[in-house]
Amino acid sequence: MKDSATPTCTPRQFSATCPSRELFDQIADKWSMMVLTVLDGGPQRFNTIRRSLEGVSQKSLSQTLRRLERNGLVTRRVLATAPVAVEYEMSALGRTLLPPFRTLYRWTRDNIPAVEAARAAFDAGHDPR
Amino acid sequence: MKDSATPTCTPRQFSATCPSRELFDQIADKWSMMVLTVLDGGPQRFNTIRRSLEGVSQKSLSQTLRRLERNGLVTRRVLATAPVAVEYEMSALGRTLLPPFRTLYRWTRDNIPAVEAARAAFDAGHDPR
DNA sequence: CCGTATCCTAAAGGATACTG
DNA sequence: CAGTATCCTTTAGGATACGG
């Protein structure tokens, strides 16, 4: 028997139960990717990250950080100060993700004119309303 | 006057109105990223893509493809066959995103053991219930 | 300061049916 | 085949209040 143990799993076939796909689902969301991009600048405290991601709620950020920590991409350290401070930092595993994330961030920064031109062309050809 | 025209916009400060951030929001979701990864293999038809992404609904895929097309990352071509066939293909702009996406896909494929180990360690230390 | 818990609303997204 | 439209359920996520 080898059916349920080996779901099809290639860059062309994202089976729902494929471990690669499940991992993809865990990090391919905007808050996770923005948190990791922010932490590329060094360890950050909770509220500092919160202020860096305009529009994120405390709850969403908390959930995102916890998931990133659980998956080993981020480490959490409680500083024995008063009041308590908590620092989040990229783990060694997380740092292996930085190259593609840096590239992606630069891409969004550098291709705004190209994308806006594409949108204008699209909107011109497709009835608005 | 230069206040509303220049929101803070760095890898450390994702202002909600920053064009880079808005573009980030448009592509940093799992379906968009999976579609682009699938189209890395060449032009694909609608239902072929659909079958490649187990769990995606016709509606979600349709919305995702339309947004990718509007942003200029993907081109849509109607083939004059009967019945009609529609082919989606990476645009030149979209292809500039491939390197980080390929890296990301390989990462999810290659780091499953590391992530699973991290999860086990995390779950061991944090009361499940 | 750093969260968790609760509530509640808004939005994403699936199922189904129907059109070009 | 490739969608659009409608309905309806599920989930994400914001606001608030409170605890460590």
Give B69-116 pLDDT, tens digit per residue.
Answer: 999 999 999 998 888 999 999 999 999 999 999 999 999 999 999 999
| A78: three-class secondary structure by DSSP | strand
Burial of residue A105 (number of CB atoms within 10 Å: 0-12, 13-18, 19+): buried
A76 and A127 share one domain: no
pLDDT at B127 over 50: yes
B51 and B102 share one domain: no
- CA distance between the termini of chain A: 55
Tell me the CATH number at B57.
Answer: 1.10.10.10
Number of other CB atoms surrounding residue A35 within 10 Å: 26
A64 and A106 share one domain: no
Residue B5 belongs to a domain: no
Query: Does residue A86 approach strand C to less than 7 Å at its CB?
Result: yes
B73 and B46 share one domain: yes
B86 and B110 share one domain: no
Q: What is the tally of structural domains in chain B?
A: 2
Across the interface, of A15, A25, A54, the residue whose CB is closest to B30 is A25
Q: What is the pTM of this model?
A: 0.92
Per DSSP, A70 falls in state H
B105 and B128 share one domain: yes
B48 and B83 share one domain: yes
In whole angstroms, give the CA distance from residue B49 to residue B123: 36
A107 and A119 share one domain: yes
A27 and A49 share one domain: yes
Residue A53 belongs to a domain: yes
A77 and A108 share one domain: no
Name the more confident of B11 and B47.
B47
Q: Among all residues of chain A, which has the CA nearest to that of B76?
A: A122
Residue B11 belongs to a domain: no
The segments of chain A whose pLDDT lies below 50 read 1-4
Residue A12 belongs to a domain: no
- pLDDT value of residue A2: 43
- Cα distances (Å, whole numbers) of residue A13 to A70, A117, B40, B127: 26, 32, 12, 36
Which residues, other chains included, contact A20 with Cβ-Cβ below 8 Å and sequence gap of 6+? A9, A14, B105, B108, B109, B112
Beta-strand runs (E) in B4-126: 9-10, 13-14, 44-45, 74-79, 85-90
Residue A5 belongs to a domain: no
The dihedral through the CA atoms of A72, A78, A84, A85 has a sign that is negative
CB A102 within 8 A of CB A40: yes
Residue B8 belongs to a domain: no
B27 and B81 share one domain: yes
What pLDDT band is residue B2 in, cutting at 50, 70 and 90? Answer: very low
CB A61 within 8 A of CB A50: yes
| Cis-peptide into B83, omega within 30 deg | yes
- pLDDT value of residue B112: 95
**Domain around B124:** 97-129
| A101: three-class secondary structure by DSSP | helix
Residue A14 belongs to a domain: no
| B111: three-class secondary structure by DSSP | coil
B69 CA from D1 C1′ (Å): 19
Q: Among all residues of chain A, which has the CA nearest to that of B18?
A: A109
Q: Which nucleotides of D are covered by protein (CB under 7 A)?
A: 1-6, 12-17, 20
B11 CA from C1 C1′ (Å): 25
- pLDDT value of residue A82: 81
Per DSSP, A73 falls in state S
Residue A9 belongs to a domain: no
B89 and B42 share one domain: yes
In whole angstroms, give the CA distance from residue B5 to residue A5: 54
